[in-house]
Amino acid sequence: MDESQNNPVFESLLAEGGENFYHYINWLGLAKDSNLMILSSVHHYYYDFNDLKGVRTIINLKKLNQINHIDTFLNNVLRVLPEKAKFIGCFTDNKIRRGIAMPFYLSFRILSRLVNLFDTRSDRFMSRKDVIRLLETHQFGIVDMTEISNITYFCAENKKKTASNPLF
């Protein structure tokens, strides 16, 4: 961790994503990868084509549950990543409810979806199965999904062929 703390990219990862996110990236073997980009959960940046040219991995620090226009976001990520590049992120798996009975879980899920319709600021209900389906719908293949301290981290790979990608 000491080597990476001098790197501004990983300083951002540690500050915004926390140690668990850093350890997940390290466990995937990407901590020393120079071709990655971290999308901040608090700062918004605009990138042009040249900024993204050599990027092989995008790490999104904002939980998928908190992204308002998730389909648009995933389409844009897919569009800028070359074939077989990685997309890494996290989400809160609302299905993981330790010690709570199933009928309450189902009631919570229905209530949560109703609230999501009216309040876009709240966390969206997502389960592991929902996220897998969402990523596969947007032509990402799941490489790994790991739960650490009630947050589920994922690594997905762009399965879209580069020839049909207009940016490359």
CB of 127 closer than 8 Å to CB of 53: no
The pLDDT assigned to 132 comes to: 96
- Find where tokens 């897919």 sit: 78
Tokens (6 digits) for 115: 């609230």
pLDDT for residue 166 is more than 80: no
Residues of the chain by 3-state class (helix, strand, coil), percent to 5:
45, 20, 40
pLDDT score, position 54: 81
Average pLDDT over residues 40-57: 70
> What are the E-state strand segments in 63-102?
86-91
pLDDT band per the 50, 70, 90 thresholds, residue 135: very high
Quick one: tokens of 125?
A: 């209900």
What local confidence, expressed as pLDDT, does residue 19 receive?
Answer: 86
Percent of residues, the chain, with pLDDT higher than 70: 66
The pLDDT, as a whole number, for residue 65 is 93
Higher pLDDT, 102 or 69: 69
Q: Per-residue pLDDT tens for 83-116?
A: 999 999 999 998 765 444 444 445 455 555 554 4
